[in-house]
Every structure is written in structure tokens, then in C-alpha cells.
Structure 1
Amino acid sequence: MGNTETYLPTIIGISGKQYAGKDALADYLIQHLPGFQKIPLAGAIKQAYAQQHGLTLAEIEADKAIYRPGLIALGDWGRQQDPDYWIKQVLAIPGPKVISDVRLKREYELLRTSSAYLIRLEAHRSVRAQRGNIVSETDATECDLDDVTDWDYTLTNNGTLDVFLKEAQNIVGILRSLG
């Protein structure tokens, strides 16, 4: 991987509700932590869904709200085969990683036992609704982690981009101090 710095942990998990800023934080982290790659759990689900429905990943991304119920159903199917079906696929990918969509307690627990650094993003529903169309918010994939309190870092993202970026910079500093 070239000029990769060594970080502890090598797995970072990000959780939060729809439009809380999970992808924005993951993108910031991979830009500022050399060698890390963004690997969302949903990526494996989206790829399988696209193949089943003759879609491209770009089409799914362009209309996430339309496809979200089907993606949730496919995710549930995989977890019926093995509760850790999707997370195991991601953890098997070599190298340091940022998992940008930790949604379920089993995923959280598996990452916790894998010594991951776990981040929770919080944002008021009204703020999230301004950012995008909120759907299926009562599904377990949206609320299963609401009562978890032992995150390594909790970031409240109700403010400006500048405030968000300062918090993200703080997280990078903490992660570097662990290495």
C-alpha cells in the first residue's frame, strides 16, 4: 500500500440514521488516514440487488429512496442465511477499512469484538429531512442501535459544515494518537 501509516484500530465503524452524515465522515476519514478504504456493508447488498434487478449501482444511488425497501429486504434475506452474512464479507477484505453503515447490534458487536473504533453520528430528524427523503425509518436497520451508548466517539451533526469538519478532524487526531 505504499506510504501507509500504521493505525490502531484498523477497522473504523460508523453508525447513524439516514442522512446523519455517515458517508461524509467516512469520505473525510479515508482522505486523512492513508491506507484506509471505505467499504460500506450496503455495497455488497447493493451489488447483489443490482444484479438481481438488472440495474447499475449508479441507478440505485441516484434513486436510493425508491430502492431502499428492496435493499432492506435483500439485507434481511442475507442475515437470515447467517446473521453476520454481510459484515463477514466486508471484514474479509484485506487492509484498514472504514465501514460507513453499521446498522444492527450484531454488526456492532462483531466489530466491537474485532477491536474496531466505533463512531455514532446523531442528527435531529428535522435536520436529516432537509438533507434527503427519509423512508423506512422504523425498520430495525434504522433503529436497532438507538439504545447503544458505549460508542468510542459520538458526533452530533446538526450544525454547519465547518463544525462537522472540526469534529471529523478531532476524530482523525484521536485515531492517530492510538497508533
Structure 2
Amino acid sequence: MVISPKAVVVFSGKRKSGKDFIANLLQEKFSAELCAILRLSGPLKSQYAKENGLDLQRLLDSSEYKESYREDMIQWGEKKRNENSEYFCVLATSGTDSDKEIWLISDARRKTDIEYFLKYYHQKTLTVRIEATTAARKERGFVFKKGVDDVESECGLDSFSDWNHIINNNGDRETLEHELIPLINDIKKLQGLQLP
């Protein structure tokens, strides 16, 4: 039996904009029992590591190890997506956490990613763009890299404009918490919860 989530929140944003940070924050608010963070890059990295004999745990963190393979991993992922645009979305949503009530897709990068969730979970999907200034991203360790920051995996959703929410995450926790309130309320509505 396939269990369908009540809410699917699809995040997009540039590297170091804080997508994972915000997904973790929301998971804390809704609880890990109800809420799963599903990463499209997780199955990508898992398959890439398997095919290339690499350390998956080190590819999943934000280390130099991951950065040294990023460009090749992007090209490998593009090849897989060209063969089947839904490949990584299907893998990400068929894992052990797919039975949770709320899915937080922390790393949508292409229009085909958003199209997948709108196609299969249309009435349940919220699209969210995380914005951060270049200065804020640099404080988090961002350094522009040709072949990474100027390709589709980073720029594929720059022209997408049909966001349900745009969240500014420039490092002020109080401002961020305030910006998240409308998104949290929309998730609660999808869950069928009464708002205060």
C-alpha cells in the first residue's frame, strides 16, 4: 500500500542559501515522527558513490570531499535525468521516510523536479524559494565555482516564478522565524489542522 503525504513542501535556492537549515527547522517544529526531509540529491549521491566506489557519508556532508566530486556528479546526474527526468524524484520518495505525513523536499533544482511533485501531488504541494544575499551566502562558505554555479543544477529554477512562498534567509534568526509563519500555516492547513 502506498502511503500518500498530506503536505509536500518543495524548496529551491542557491548553494548556501539555507535550504537544509530551513528544512531542519521545519522538521523540528512539526516533529520527525510526522515530517521527513527528502533530498533529491540523496539518491543521486548514493548511486554516484556506488558506481564510483566513493564514501557516501562524506558525499552527503558539506565537506571538501563532496566539493571535489561536485562537477563530475552534476554531469553524471544530468545524464541520468536526460534518460528519465523523474528518476531521482521517484528514488527520493520511495525511501523509508516516505510514509510520513509531511515531506520536505530540500533541494529541487530543475523545473522537472517541481513538475514531478505538481503532477503527482498537485493539491498537496507548496513551492518555496529560499533567497539569500551573496554576502550572506559567502558568510556560510559560498565561493563561486565555474561549472557548478553557472549550470542547470544551480540555475534551472532561476526563471521559475510560480512560488507559493519566497523566504529571505540572510542570517537573522528572528526575521527568518517571522517569514516562516505563513508557510507553517499553509502546511497546517494541508494537514487539516485548525489554525490558532
With normalisation by structure 2, the TM-score equals 0.79
Aligned partners of 2:79 and 2:56: how far apart in 1?
19
Q: Which residue of 2 aligns with 1:55?
A: 54
User: Secondary structure of 1:101's partner?
Assistant: coil
Cα-Cα RMSD: 2.0
User: Any idea what the Cα deviations from partners look like across 1:32-71, whole Å, max 9, x if unmatched?
Assistant: 2241111100000111122223222332222232221122
Identity of aligned residues (%): 27
Aligned partners of 1:50 and 1:7: how far apart in 2?
29
Q: Does 1:38 find its partner at 2:37?
A: yes
Give the C-alpha shift of residue 170 in structure 1: 4.0
Aligned partners of 1:145 and 1:83: how far apart in 2?
15
Matches within 5 A, 1:106-145: 106-113=112-119, 114-115=121-122, 116-134=125-143, 135=145, 136-145=148-157
Moved over 4 A (4+): none
Give the C-alpha shift of residue 92 in structure 1: 3.3
Q: Which residue of 1 aligns with 2:187?
A: 175
Q: Which residue of 1 aligns with 2:72?
A: 70
Aligned partners of 2:48 and 2:159: how far apart in 1?
30
Alignment-mate amino acid for residue 178 of structure 2:
K
Alignment-mate amino acid for residue 22 of structure 2:
L
Q: Does 1:24 find its partner at 2:32?
A: no
Sort the Cα spacing of 1:144 and 1:101 in 2 relative to 1 into closer, same or farther, 3 A.
same
Unmatched 5+ residue regions in structure 2? none
Alignment length (residue pairs): 173
Unmatched 5+ residue regions in structure 1? 1-5
Aligned partners of 1:27 and 1:155: how far apart in 2?
15
Q: Does 1:81 find its partner at 2:83?
A: yes
Give the C-alpha shift of residue 158 in structure 1: 1.9
Q: Which residue of 2 aligns with 1:105?
A: 111
CA contact (8 A) 2:42 2:92 kept: no
CA contact (8 A) 1:13 1:117 kept: yes
Give the C-alpha shift of residue 169 in structure 1: 4.1
User: Any idea what the Cα deviations from partners look like across 1:84-134, whole Å, max 9, x if unmatched?
Assistant: 211122233432311100000111112222221111101122321221233
